[in-house]
């Protein structure tokens, strides 16, 4: 069995991705892909991780947890999503790093399913919008200074987190995607996480782009796709991109950024650094970039 685990990051449409997978649960089950409801594993999985820690779970423990997660008989691929599996939002910048707890939490997770193949799925996001969104989600009553701690936004790199993941779990391949691309790659992302080919019809490819477009635009897009069937994924993405350019709702496309000490110069630096970081990640061994 292959266990595909979406591990975050926070604020990269984790819940929407799970809804998209669950929408296709029946069709995917025909291909041996099981999508359990999050309630079946989001509490028990961290508990088992703390118990096994640095030692591979016994065959009995693995069988026990899989029995609790799924009752399917013919499961060749199990897909789960838990954006808090590394840490809660308030711990994202602990020790001045980006997801520092991944160094030991992900090996614990790997040990839970030691007898099976695994892959991690990780969403990335421009720190210029990720940090404000993460603070809004996890800051609570704390100030921004307390939330960000010793982390320096100018020195945060997703590539360093991925390098840590490759070093601590070298047998686990990683699939990554950029949150900014999700409106046009949504259908492909669902397929990649589910591990099925394009010949398998899946619903929901327009769900993400629909949240950013004017009602008139999404209506016209659906009508256009009915009469102009895309020949391949590249053509499909180009069509989505063209309609998004024309019918995007500006109010839904803009991020409000109001953090102490932030200015346009910092946002531009973070964006430029992020783009360079994505280029670096795209060439990393053991990493599939869903672009």
What is the pLDDT at residue 141?
80
Q: Are 32 and 145 in contact (CB under 8 A)?
A: no
Question: What is the rounded CA–CA span in Å between residue 253 and residue 2?
Answer: 36
Strands (E), the chain: 2-6, 33-34, 77-81, 117-124, 174-178, 287-290
Sheet holding 2-6, edge to edge: 33-34, 77-81, 2-6, 117-124, 174-178, 287-290
Question: What is the rounded CA–CA span in Å between residue 100 and residue 235?
Answer: 39
Q: Are 107 and 54 in contact (CB under 8 A)?
A: yes
What is the pLDDT at residue 290?
95
Q: Distances in Å between the alpha carbon of 260 and those of 80, 132, 148, 263, 284?
A: 36, 11, 11, 9, 35
pLDDT tens digits along 167-178: 999 999 999 999
Helix (H, G, I), strand (E, B) or coil at 109: helix
Alpha carbons within 13 A on the beta-carbon side of 139: 17
Residue 227, strand partner residues = none
pLDDT tens digits along 249-266: 988 877 778 899 999 999
Q: What is the pTM of this model?
A: 0.94
What is the pLDDT at residue 199?
67
Q: Is the pLDDT of residue 210 over 90?
A: yes
Question: What is the rounded CA–CA span in Å between residue 250 and residue 60?
Answer: 54
Domains and CATH numbers, the chain: 2-212+249-290 (3.40.50)
């Amino acid at each position: 069995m292959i266990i595909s685990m979406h591990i975050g990051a926070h604020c990269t449409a984790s819940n929407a991705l799970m809804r998209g997978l669950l929408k296709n649960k029946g069709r995917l089950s025909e291909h041996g892909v099981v999508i359990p409801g999050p309630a079946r594993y989001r509490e028990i999985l961290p508990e088992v991780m703390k118990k096994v820690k640095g030692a591979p779970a016994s065959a009995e423990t693995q069988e026990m947890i899989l029995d609790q997660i799924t009752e399917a008989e013919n499961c060749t691929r199990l897909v789960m999503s838990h954006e808090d599996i590394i840490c809660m939002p308030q711990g994202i910048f602990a020790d001045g790093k980006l997801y520092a707890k991944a160094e030991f939490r992900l090996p614990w997770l790997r040990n839970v399913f030691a007898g099976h193949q695994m892959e991690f799925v990780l969403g990335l996001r421009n720190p210029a919008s990720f940090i404000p969104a993460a603070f809004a989600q996890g800051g609570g009553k704390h100030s921004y200074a307390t939330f960000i701690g010793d982390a320096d936004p100018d020195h945060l790199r997703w590539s360093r987190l991925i390098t840590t993941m490759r070093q601590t779990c070298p047998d686990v391949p990683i699939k990554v995607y950029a949150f900014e691309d999700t409106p046009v790659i949504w259908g492909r992302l669902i397929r990649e996480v589910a591990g099925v080919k394009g010949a398998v019809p899946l619903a929901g490819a327009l769900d993400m782009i629909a949240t950013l477009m004017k009602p008139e635009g999404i209506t016209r897009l659906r009508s256009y796709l009915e009469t102009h069937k895309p020949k391949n994924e590249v053509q499909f993405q180009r069509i989505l991109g063209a309609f998004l350019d024309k019918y995007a709702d500006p109010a839904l496309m803009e991020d409000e950024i109001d953090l102490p000490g932030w200015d346009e110069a910092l946002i531009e630096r973070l964006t430029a650094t992020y783009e360079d970081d994505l280029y670096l990640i795209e060439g990393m061994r053991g990493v599939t970039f869903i672009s």
